[in-house]
């Protein structure tokens, strides 16, 4: 094979290799920063791209996915001069790859230092109790400040969380004692409220029982009075019927006197020492006595 042919084959092979190496495929959620002669040329997004050999190069591959930065605990001092350790977690996303690459050197280190100083400024305006109970407020303030500060770097801060707040040991012991006292207080209140509720229910039960007993006595008295009234009415009706019967049979004064005498005898029943007999029935009484003696003889 002649030398020119060999050279042509070599050149063709090199060109093919260069062509394949200059074809780039950008994956999903990724961008490539392209430089030409060391200067920014363009940004490649998802898809197939071709770069000129030698003069173009891929300067940086940037992921557009949301990232997490977990920073080391920072020493902060509260408004009431309590020193504590606070570590934060930051969620961020690159929204402008060009600014991210050319805006600042080591952007994550810059964000960490910025978050530390921002956290110290915010905690310095709060007392210990406010710091422990205002996590949402602190998170919101830090996110707003960091998001605004990182805009020139092509970074968007989506969320900031205080992962741990670690006060000094003596403060922790005091807080534990306070929490224990608070729990005991709540327990005593609940016990007192239970006893109060129990006493109220017992009193209500006794009240209802007394009302029911009084109502029962009232009903018994009413029934007894009604019974007595019915008995008196029955006696009166019987007496009236008896008188009516006597009137209907045409009983004379003698028969009435005799019946009256028998009634007096029952009334006396041998217990009375003196019985006063009306004058109307004295004669008939004597006659009745004589009749009884004749019958006995």
pLDDT in tens, 107-131: 889 999 999 999 999 999 988 888 8
**Which pLDDT value is given to residue 152?**
92
- Per the model's pLDDT, the better-predicted residue between 265 and 141 turns out to be 141
**What pTM does this model have?**
0.55
What would be the CATH architecture of the domain defined by 67-167?
2-Layer Sandwich (3.30)
**Which pLDDT value is given to residue 74?**
87
Of 41-45, 51-55, 194-198, 258-262, the range with the lowest mean pLDDT is: 258-262
Q: Where are the domains of the chain?
A: 3-63, 67-167, 190-250, 251-297
283 has pLDDT over 60: no
**Which pLDDT value is given to residue 144?**
93
What digits encode the pLDDT tens for the residues 8-50?
777 777 777 777 778 888 999 999 999 998 899 999 999 999 8
Of all residues in the chain, the percent with pLDDT exceeding 70 is: 81
**Which pLDDT value is given to residue 295?**
40
Going by pLDDT thresholds of 50, 70 and 90, the confidence category of residue 148 is: very high
Rounded distance, CA 146 to CA 115, Å? 7
Mean pLDDT (the chain) is 81
- Per the model's pLDDT, the better-predicted residue between 286 and 86 turns out to be 86
């Amino acid at each position: 094979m002649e030398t020119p042919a060999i050279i042509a084959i070599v050149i063709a092979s090199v060109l093919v290799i260069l062509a394949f190496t200059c074809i780039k495929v950008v994956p999903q959620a990724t961008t490539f920063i392209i430089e030409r002669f060391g200067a920014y040329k363009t940004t490649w997004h998802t898809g197939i791209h071709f770069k000129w050999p030698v003069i173009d190069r891929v300067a940086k591959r940037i992921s557009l996915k949301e990232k997490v930065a977990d920073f080391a605990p920072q020493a902060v001092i509260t408004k009431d001069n309590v020193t504590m350790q606070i570590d934060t977690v930051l969620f961020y996303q690159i929204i402008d790859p060009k600014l991210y690459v050319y805006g600042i050197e080591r952007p994550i280190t810059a964000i960490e230092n910025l978050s530390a100083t921002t956290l110290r400024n915010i905690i310095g305006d709060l007392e210990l109790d406010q710091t422990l109970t205002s996590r949402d407020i602190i998170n919101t303030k830090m996110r707003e400040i960091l998001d605004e500060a990182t805009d020139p770097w092509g970074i968007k801060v989506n969320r900031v969380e205080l992962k741990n707040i670690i006060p000094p040991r003596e403060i922790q012991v005091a807080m534990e004692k306070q929490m224990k006292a608070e729990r005991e207080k709540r327990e005593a209140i609940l016990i007192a409220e239970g006893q109060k509720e129990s006493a109220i229910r017992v009193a209500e039960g006794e009240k209802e029982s007394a009302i029911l007993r009084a109502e029962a006595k009232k009903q018994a008295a009413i029934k007894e009075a009604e019974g007595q009234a019915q008995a008196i009415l029955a006696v009166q009706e019987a007496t009236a019927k008896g008188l009516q019967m006597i009137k209907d049979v045409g009983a004379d004064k003698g028969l009435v006197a005799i019946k009256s005498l028998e009634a007096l005898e029952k009334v006396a029943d041998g217990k009375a020492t003196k019985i006063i007999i009306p004058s109307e029935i004295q004669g008939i009484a004597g006659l009745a006595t004589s009749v009884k003696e004749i019958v006995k003889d």
